[in-house]
Structure 1
Amino acid sequence: MRDLKQILLEEIPEFKAKGEVFLKGELGKMDFKKVSGGFGVYAHRDGKHFMIRLRILSGVLGKEQLVAICNLAERYAVPMIHLTTRQAIQFHKLSLDNVCKVMEEGLEYNLYTRGAGGNYPRNVAMSPLAGLMKEEAFDVVPYAMAANGYFLQRINTYHLPRKLKVSFTSDKADGSQATVQDMGFVATLKDNKPYFKLYLGGGLGRNPRKGIPVDRLLPAEEALYALEAMVQLFTHEGDYEHHHKARVRYIADRMGDEAFVNCFWKYFETAKVKGGLDFSPEMPKYTKVGKRVEINHIAITSQKQEGLYSYYFHPLGGQLDYRLLRKISNLIEPMKDVHVRLSMGEGLYLVHLNGEEVQQVAEALDADNYLLGVEQTRSCIGVPICQMGILESQKALRAIVDYFKAKGNIKESLPPIYISGCPNSCGVHQIAGIGLVGNKKKIDGVLTGIYDVYMKGKCTVGETHLGELIGEVQEDQLPAFLYDLASKIEAAHQSFDQYMEANKEEVEQLLSK
């Protein structure tokens, strides 16, 4: 990676020059975005400040990197750190100079931003507890990391129609959302040997699509050939003329599922003939001696390694300042083998904790952890930061939580709520039990913020389905609607799914008030 780092360092002055032209008003927002996205940088809505996205490889964050992130955030006065819905970390409200400094200094700690946005392969997602779960086919960590390396080694050379999202999942819960990605690898065993079941051509946002389940299993050691096949398919078959139809799923729509899968295997066989991507994984060795404790705690999961545990920490809306992150860093620093795994839900796991350590962590962090009822709500960054945003999704999240708390009940009868401030689905609303999408429409002649309401989405291997649009609710009425719905479910003594099955029309009427 040393040569790559030098190349990336040499790119920064040219990027900065483009940014200066943008700040002078001589380059439009969209034209600047075409350049900045590939560096993991986006201008804020005010046109003066910037966001930079740190590409945390499959969400795995070592102690040294965690300290570096805390130091960067403090040094450059980052007011808010955002844990994203794709295992990345975003710094907001930075000057152009400080964006470039973060970009440069981050490379010293293998914190990459190149390709974290724009028309590039994005961070390879992974089940956050891969290798640690009691019920998983096999450990996908080395495969996901090899995929990251494959993309990063070429990251400055890609010319794709749009972004490319790849995920590796090791269990049926689909912790990396592999079944709704451009390319998903789901671990499975055949004759006690590791294989991947592939899901191709999925994606959320406008015109969403579940991934096509591929019958032919892929030997796990051929994973990099499959990646090369998808890159070549996307490069040669993708639409470079129409931005809104340039994702992989539109190729599948155009060709049809069977022809699309056959086309993929054609590119795969070509890659195999070319060779050079054979992969023999070195499986991680987990040697830490555990210590068992009897504990029943919502944030704590027992690992398959005897006497070791993981603690899940979820800041409200995925947002925290560097002081809280520093507290976490200082807490785990003396703990052997403990590191961070970012989730797809705007939170993080502290893994490889023994029984005494996990109790210590819980005591230190529980007060800042939001895991009950509507506190679990996820949200994109939204207005007033995002250029594409329509509504203030983070404000809506806090309004919901505050409303429920004011009523004295956070209500655990609702499934997790995912909020996107616009139809782009950065909040992955289409796979939520309750998904909300920001929009605006005229009501009585006044342009009014509304949320389109989707329900009964799900992302689980073999059971994934996209949420159904059932109505809309005005922005200022959203908390009351959700509280009324939760109260009705509790009164019926039913689960959310049971209630929706029996009372869908009643919910639609509740939305039409």
Structure 2
Amino acid sequence: MDAKQWREDYKEFEKVTRQFYAGEVTVPQYKGFSGGFGSYAQRGGKASMLRLRLPGGRVTKEKMKFVADSIKKYQIDKVHLTTCQTIQFHNLSADTVCSLAVEALDYGIVTRGGGGDFPRNVMVSPLSGVEQGEYFDVAPYADKAGDYLMGLIKTVKLPRKLKVCFSNSPANETHATFRDLGFAARSDGRFDVYSAGGLGNNPKMGVLCAEGIDGTKVLYYIKAMVKLFVSYGNYEVRAKARTRYMQDVLGEKYVQEFQKKLEEAFREENLDIEVSDTVYDKSGDGSAFVDGQMPARVVPQKQAGLYAVKYHPIGGCPSPQKLVEICEAVQLIEQAELRLAPDETMYIINCTAKEAEKILAITDDGADTLFGSSVACIGASICQVGARDSQKLLQALVHEEKQWDLPDGALPQIHISGCPSSCGTHQVGRIGFRGGMKKVDGKPEAAFVLYVNGRDGEDCARFGEEIGVMLETEIPSFLKALGNTVAESGMDFDAWYENNEDVFRKIAEPYL
């Protein structure tokens, strides 16, 4: 569906948004409505956010122009790269959010279904199509899936949101093995299909529903999942309405019921797709990196002589001015584009060595250590449902870590969520924190629940184990003690933890 065909929907969005800011619609009422347009009121109800759907996390030059022009035109002062490969604009007035949502359509960006009980942004391994060692480029299949799912927004009422993703390698960056529906690429050019997984309360790994399917058939599996969700999803109890609860409802019959819906999907209509790989005909120009050394933030592509530059703004929040600078610089690079990753990292792809050097210089304000590339949701200072300010905590920790003089890798990339919803994916972090509360002398104090040993790789995926509750003020001291212990071993955190799980617990114990 052409983006401009959604324009009529936004007249209702503007009407209800203005009613909300006039005090004629309550916060809960507005949340139930506005989410379907990718927008929510922020905490306090005095400003809005807008989530830009960017299928596969791909930001083309056309979309970059919209992002940069919007920041300048509306003086946007807060941007967040999300763990679902979207860009969020924050602190928007009623006038601004209504205008932006419509203006985005002219650049191929549809915010419809960006929140609420709808199919969400289809996720894709961020370097699909250019990554060395990938099984194959999964992005063309995801594009078809995204188009199909957008067509369901006005025709199917789901119990809750539905997240679909595609993974191009065992790295499983998009969490294909524990999404609502995940397509995991295989070395033989086919997909394994997982469903009814998810993070948050009652997290579950996905159920392997099919192995070695032909990629031209992916829409049948999506339709089957939608039919299953409509049939067995919980429309009465919202807290138990995500697809993962269907595992509890159907038990051992889950795969059998999925297969029944799949058979129906095959009988009802022809959903075969045709795809072709994205072709990048740009080649390297023979340029080399300064001193002949490839910088740490540069990733060689499978296209000879081309590179992707990795940029991780702290907390996934680049300064708006920096994002404008990046977008304007990329406009001048042939066939370059931005790719957003599920850990809030941004890649600028299709650069020659000379072009990569320029992008490296522009993006020198980002993370320069593994710990610095840690993940955090937008946090309770903005989010209505957040319990704790995850951004504030991460900013403080990154600042503190720079003073500790630890070797890179002594502390891992950590994941922080402000509440149980797991928007910061705390349950798959090597170390994770989830916002909560702890009573001290009978009084509630700001705290976070500590998790450890989460992983997202396809062959080793697991949810982190909950260790205990730690006061927010104690977290820096705990991480410093942990980092010093790991550093003394001469190993990085992953290697150290493998044989020191008991030591980790002993270090954490005084702070719990």
Tell me the amino acid that sits aligned with residue 172 of structure 1.
Answer: P
Tell me if 1:217 matches 2:212.
Answer: yes
The 8 Å contact of residues 457 and 467 in structure 1, kept in 2 or not, is answered as yes
> Given residue 275 of structure 2, which amino acid in structure 1 is its aligned partner?
P
Could you tell me which of 283, 304, 323 is aligned with 2:277?
A: 283
1:286, distance to aligned residue in structure 2 (A): 2.0
Deviations 1:221-257 (CA, angstroms, capped at 9, x unpaired): 101111111111111211100101101110112212x
Report the Cα offset of residue 411 of structure 1.
4.7
Shift of 1:28: 2.5
1: CA distance, partners of 2:67 / 2:342: 19
SS at match of 2:462: coil
Name the structure 2 match of 1:50: 48
1:399 aligns with 2:379: no
Q: CA deviation at 1:377?
A: 1.1
Deviation at 1:410, TM superposition (A): 6.7
**1:114 paired residue number:** 112
Question: Partner residue of 1:5?
Answer: 4
Pairing 1:259–2:259 present: no
Q: CA deviation at 1:363?
A: 2.8
1:197 is the counterpart of 2:179: no
User: In the TM superposition, what is the alpha-carbon distance from 1:24 to its structure 2 partner?
Assistant: 3.5
* Paired AA for residue 493 in structure 2: F
Counterpart in 2 of 1:417?
Answer: 414
Structure 1 distance, partners of 2:495, 2:113, is 43
Matched, 1:94 2:88: no
Native 8 Å contact 2:191 2:211 kept in 1:
no
1:270 and 2:236 are equivalent in the alignment: no
Other structure's SS at 2:190 match: strand
- The answer as to 2:431 corresponding to 1:434 is yes
Do structure 1's residue 373 and structure 2's residue 362 form an aligned pair? no
User: Is the contact between residue 181 and residue 195 of structure 2 (CA under 8 Å) also seen in structure 1?
Assistant: yes
Equivalent position of 1:465 in the other structure:
462
Structure 1 residues 330-345: aligned runs within 5 Å: 330-345=328-343
Alignment match, 1:307: 305
Deviations, residues 107-138 of structure 1 (Å, cap 9, x unaligned): 00011110000000100000000111221211
Q: Residues of 2 paired with 1:317 and 1:486: CA distance?
A: 20
Rounded Cα–Cα distance in structure 1 between residues aligned with 2:31 and 2:362: 41
**CA deviation profile, 1:271-313 (whole Å, cap 9, x unmatched):** 1112231111122222112245343222111111111111111
Aligned to 1:241: 236
1 CA distance for matches of 2:82 and 2:126? 13
CA distance in 2, matches of 1:476, 1:144: 43
Provide the residue aligned with 2:221 in structure 1. 226
Aligned residue number for residue 180 of structure 1:
178
**Map 1:314-329 → 2, pairs under 5 A:** 314-329=312-327
Structure 2 residue matching 1:368: 3-state secondary structure: coil
Once the two structures are TM-superposed, the CA of residue 158 in structure 1 deviates from its matched residue by 3.0
CA shift, 1:395, in A, is 0.5
The aligned counterpart of 2:29 is: 31
Q: Distance in 1 between matches of 2:285 and 2:300?
A: 11
Once the 2 structures are TM-superposed, how far is the Cα of residue 356 of structure 1 from its aligned partner?
1.9
Q: CA deviation at 1:17?
A: 2.3
8 Å Cα contact 1:404/1:411 also seen in 2: no
User: What's the % identity of the aligned pairs?
Assistant: 37
Amino acid at match of 2:462: H
How much has 1:154 moved relative to structure 2?
3.0
Aligned to 1:217, what secondary structure does the other structure show? strand
Give the aligned partner of residue 349 of structure 1. Answer: 347
SS of 1:132's equivalent? coil
Cα distance in structure 1, aligned partners of 2:407 and 2:391: 18
- When normalised by structure 1's length, the TM-score is 0.95
2: CA distance, partners of 1:275 / 1:76: 45
Counterpart-to-counterpart distance in 2, 1:55 and 1:309: 26
Q: Which amino acid aligns with 2:463?
A: L
Residues 1:448 and 2:445 are matched in the alignment: yes
For normalisation by structure 2, the TM-score amounts to: 0.95
Structure 1 position 296 matched with structure 2 position 294 = yes
> Match for residue 16 of structure 1?
14
The alpha-carbon deviation at position 412 of structure 1 amounts to: 2.4
For residues 254 and 497 of structure 1, the distance between their equivalents in structure 2, rounded to whole angstroms, comes to 37
Deviation string for 1:186-218 (max 9, x for gaps)? 11144xxx3110111110001101112235321
Stretches of structure 1 lacking an aligned partner (at least 5 in a row): none
Equivalent residue letter for 1:341: R
Q: Supply the distance in 1 between the matched residues of 2:293 and 2:336 (Cα, whole angstroms).
A: 19
Task: Kindly report the root-mean-square deviation, in angstroms, between the aligned alpha carbons of the 2 structures.
Answer: 1.6
| Secondary structure at 1:143 match in 2 | helix
Q: Aligned AA for 2:383?
A: C
Give the conservation status (yes or no) of the 8 Å contact 2:438–2:471. no
Residue 422 of structure 2: SS of its match in structure 1?
coil
Kept in 2, the 8 Å contact 1:456–1:497? The answer is no
Q: CA 1:240–1:120 in structure 2 vs 1: closer, same or farther (change >3 Å)?
A: same
Query: How many residue pairs are counted as aligned between the two chains?
Result: 506
- The 8 Å contact of residues 404 and 410 in structure 1, kept in 2 or not, is answered as no
Deviation at 1:498, TM superposition (A): 4.2
**CA distance in structure 2 between the partners assigned to 1:19 and 1:334 by the alignment:** 38
Q: Aligned equivalents of 1:215 and 1:141: distance in 2?
A: 20
The AA in structure 2 aligned to 1:343 is A
Aligned equivalents of 1:502, 1:154: Cα separation in 2 = 49
| Cα displacement (A) at 1:501 | 4.2
Given that 2:438 and 2:470 are in contact with CA atoms closer than 8 Å, whether structure 1 keeps it comes out as no
* Residue identity in the other structure for 2:198: G
Where 1:320 maps in the other structure, the secondary structure is coil
Q: How many Å separate the matches in 2 of 1:245 and 1:101? A: 35
Deviations, residues 329-383 of structure 1 (Å, cap 9, x unaligned): 2222221111111111112111111222112222332x21213132111100112
Deviates more, 1:208-217 or 1:244-253: 208-217
Q: Are positions 1:475 and 2:472 aligned together? A: yes
Q: 1:125·1:167 contact (CA, 8 Å) conserved in 2?
A: yes
How far apart in 1 are the matches of 2:285 and 2:441? Answer: 64
In the alignment, the residues of structure 2 paired with residue 372 and residue 158 of structure 1 have an alpha-carbon distance, to the nearest angstrom, of: 45
Match for residue 493 of structure 2 among 476, 496, 504? 496
